[in-house]
Structure 1
Amino acid sequence: MTQTIQIETDAIVIGGGFGGCYSLYKLREQGLSVKLIEAGSAFGGVWHWNRYPGARVDTEMPSYQFNIPAVWKGWNWSQRFPGDEELRRYFQHVDSVLGLSKDAFFNDIVTRVQYDAGSCRWTVVTNTGLQATCKYLIAATGSSYKKHYPKFQGLNTYAGKLVHAADYPKDLDVTGKRVGVVGNGASGLQIVQDLAKEDCQLNVFIRTPCFAIPMRQREITTEEAEMMKGYYDGIFDRCYKSVTGFPHNTRLQSAHQATPEERKVLFDELWARGGYSFLVSNYYDFLLDEKANSIFYDYWVQQTRARMTNLEKMDLVAPLKQHMLIGTKRPSLEQDYYEMVDRPNVTLHNLKQSPIVEFDTTGLVTCDGSSNKHLDLDIVICATGYDAVTGSLLDLGITDKNGQSLEEKWSNGVLTHLGLMVPDAPNFFMVYGPQAPTSLANGPPFIEMEVDWICKAIAKMDKEGLQSIEPTKQAAEEWRDHVAAVSEHTLYPKTDSWYMGSNIPGKRREPLIYLGGMQRWWQSCTEALENWDGFSTK
């Protein structure tokens, strides 16, 4: 029988990734009693769960970490783009330095969250019997937690090994096996890039080819890592003040203002530099103008095809005729992906020409319109992503002060103010949630800004003797309209992606990310805090 544990505290944080860890640290620093509830067995968030071959962050160091001197002084990164194991060690180090575990409950999945208007407190219930009440509730559940499995007919009859990228078993041996990878996003690319080197027959099922640019991975010596700490203040400051949370140089010039020769020089320079420099430090209008976007595509496709030998494969993954708007789906970084899919042990399947019809006990069936083809597979890996941004929030079972569930509240569209709070949900804050820069910003510095705002709001409440704050419905509707209007000025709505909620069948298609950049968002947040503009106070 599950034993009920009851806790009363000032604040509860749900989620133990970057957002949860920083929330726990800052709220405790502010003098509040805080408890953190995490579904996994350790801190790390997406880096606790993602253990598939090749899992690696695509933000380069040192900008993907907490700006907490006590933490970074005792930690050195070993690679420009660290892998999942190093990131898990980093979170262990964070815990060791900050002493977070003493206030955390692990292996607890939140099943119900309810606000009581009489006591002005939230109650959080988990699957283990934990019941916690608090004044302030912070949902730091992240964008990538709720796994998405496509609803293929017969998938439950498949007798081989079925794996989701976010639940990859440690002992999975692909040697001599027929392996299928479904999904071509960041995780799919990294898995294929690694498994292609193994002694297996790898079948890669591609509906929409990914857009990937060179990572230029390299090792970092301890001496170099220590030397870089002399620049940390400048790097972090640049992150906070940038549009995207990255410290890269920016270029306030249209692609159309440069000659083809000038563009070629810049493209070559940024391509050689690696990482997201090719996008962040390039001409600014490739996400605003289709002609500018096509200039980027033409360069990318020539660079990519030159690395391959199989014409049929390159026509699928990098067709000469532009098939996508660059950057409107999540861009990926790769090390040798295009060389790996070019290998003879890798077969690419074009799902637009031959979609998957069904699974059976031994594999799957595709159809090219005239005939079916059966493919035997020993292992199927679903690199099919997540019900991103909103999925993990809706699974919490949140009920507002009027007894209305968050799922009902958002049935006609997400409604938040600043991506931080929800109408009729007093003292409920979101970190890395919808309608904020979130997934299009460098996570840690953006998260720090969100949590700092929450802490400032709580301090202002305390100073003014307020019991609660909540955004007005009008302010939330105006913010939603602003998020939509900004989106319409970009190329993002022209593409189906999880940024728009369109990767999940039946999910409402709407901009889930604020595309106006961190500075415009932060200005709105700062102004709102000056006199509670857009908020009801009690």
Structure 2
Amino acid sequence: MLNSKITSEEMETIKQSYTEIFEKCNNSQTGHQYRTVKQSTIEVPAEQRKEFWEKLYAEPGYAIWIGNYKDVLLDKQANNLISEFIAGKIRERVTDPDTAEKLIPKNHGFGLKRLPLEDNYYELYNRDNVHLVDIKSNPITRVTATGIDTVEAAYDLDVIVYATGFDAVTGSLLRMDIVGKNGVKLKDVWSDGPQTYLGLQVRGFPNFFTVLGPHNGATFCNIPRCAESQINWLTDMFRFIRDNDVQVVEPSLEAQENWTELVYETAAKTLFPQVNSWFNGDNSNVSGRKRTFLLWAGGNLSYRDKCNQVRDDGYEGFLMGYRRAK
């Protein structure tokens, strides 16, 4: 993460640049100020590539994830190269080689899962009072009154933090127990994965909008910036609804099916569906969960263009019921 103090002068410069900063964010694929490099990872000479990655790694924030070469999240060979670079950085920061190897992901490439930002996380493993236990090779057998027992040893602990995960994107919506027309429940409609139109509405649930739900352009983006454009778009839609005495809005079945299929086709062009992650709805805590991609992977600009096209075509794909004349 590379957090650092911001001087009052620097803060004033940032405040004076808000308009420019927001404009850069709104005109990027991820809602950040970063821009993907148009070059391919493979076509860049190795030394030049390493120099560029060293520069990105030394910058704060998501620079190395979304300000990288255009194919690091699309091409397996390119992703292998950046993954090995990151592995080398972990080996540099962790003094014990065995611990370093345990900390290097082996089941996914760099950036193919949600990228956590950290400050001095790896350096913590260099402390004498910090120990890493790999519970895949040394499984937990039981939790006791004094700590945790594994196959190989017992560990006395004062506090145990259970990192059990969360049900991303759809979990909060499904827990609301939302009911649509004819008593149909959203959790039943989405039992094999979400189906949406623009990630904004679901067939059979009129007047129900999901601004940050599955298949939505703001969910896999810099949410405050990308959600803002959606709120503006919905505001225009609600003006249309008000001005035209519309009472009911829901998507057509065809529009929903086409959009859902486009979501999956777009994701398939990336490496994201090839790993187990919450991007794909993977959750061992939810029995029977079908693996489907939950996000719009096409970027902020293409999503916004699609929404604007729908608006300009008279909200094509939305079925609207109008107030009856008295």
TM-score normalized with structure 1 length? 0.57
CA RMSD of aligned residues (A): 1.6
- Quick one: which of 261, 273, 297 aligns to 1:515? 297
User: How far, CA to CA, are the matches of 2:227 and 2:42 in structure 1?
Assistant: 35
The structure whose residues are more often helix, as a share, is 2
Cα-to-partner distance string for 1:487-517 (whole Å, 9 max, x where unaligned): 1111111111111111333222111111111
Following TM superposition, by how much is the alpha carbon of 1:486 offset from its aligned partner in structure 2, in angstroms? 1.1
Give the structure 1 partner of residue 235 of structure 2: 455
Give the structure 2 partner of residue 281 of structure 1: 67
Conserved 8 A contact 1:418-1:479: yes
Q: Look up the equivalent residue of 1:387 and give its one-letter code.
A: D
Gaps of 5+ in 1: 1-214
1:139-538 to 2 correspondences below 5 Å: 215-318=1-104, 323-367=107-151, 373-505=153-285, 506=287, 507-530=289-312, 531-538=314-321
> Identity of paired residues, percent?
36
Cα-to-partner distance string for 1:67-121 (whole Å, 9 max, x where unaligned): xxxxxxxxxxxxxxxxxxxxxxxxxxxxxxxxxxxxxxxxxxxxxxxxxxxxxxx
Moved more, 435-444 or 250-259: 435-444
Give the structure 2 partner of residue 179 of structure 1: none
Q: Look up the equivalent residue of 1:268 and give its one-letter code.
A: E
User: How far, CA to CA, are the matches of 2:182 and 2:107 in structure 1?
Assistant: 47
Conserved 8 A contact 1:423-1:470: yes
User: How far, CA to CA, are the matches of 2:140 and 2:215 in structure 1?
Assistant: 34
The structure whose residues are more often strand, as a share, is 1
Give the structure 1 partner of residue 324 of structure 2: none
User: How far, CA to CA, are the matches of 1:283 and 1:501 in structure 2?
Assistant: 27
Conserved 8 A contact 2:41-2:70: yes
Q: Secondary structure at the match of 1:279?
A: helix
User: How far, CA to CA, are the matches of 2:125 and 2:317 in structure 1?
Assistant: 52
User: How far, CA to CA, are the matches of 1:330 and 1:381 in structure 2?
Assistant: 21
User: How far, CA to CA, are the matches of 1:438 and 1:354 in structure 2?
Assistant: 40
Cα-to-partner distance string for 1:228-284 (whole Å, 9 max, x where unaligned): 222211111111121101012331111012110110121121112232111221101
User: How far, CA to CA, are the matches of 2:266 and 2:234 in structure 1?
Assistant: 24
Conserved 8 A contact 2:146-2:157: yes
Conserved 8 A contact 1:429-1:454: no
Q: Secondary structure at the match of 2:31?
A: coil
Conserved 8 A contact 2:181-2:204: yes
Conserved 8 A contact 1:420-1:429: yes
Gaps of 5+ in 2: 322-326
User: How far, CA to CA, are the matches of 1:358 and 1:402 in structure 2?
Assistant: 47
TM-score normalized with structure 2 length? 0.92
Q: Look up the equivalent residue of 2:193 and give its one-letter code.
A: G
Q: Look up the equivalent residue of 2:7 and give its one-letter code.
A: T
The verdict on how the C-alpha distance between 1:479 and 1:516 changes in structure 2, with shifts beyond 3 A counting, is same
User: How far, CA to CA, are the matches of 1:439 and 1:430 in structure 2?
Assistant: 10
Paired residues, what number? 318
Moved over 4 A (4+): none
Conserved 8 A contact 1:313-1:342: no
The verdict on how the C-alpha distance between 1:438 and 1:375 changes in structure 2, with shifts beyond 3 A counting, is farther
Conserved 8 A contact 1:441-1:518: yes
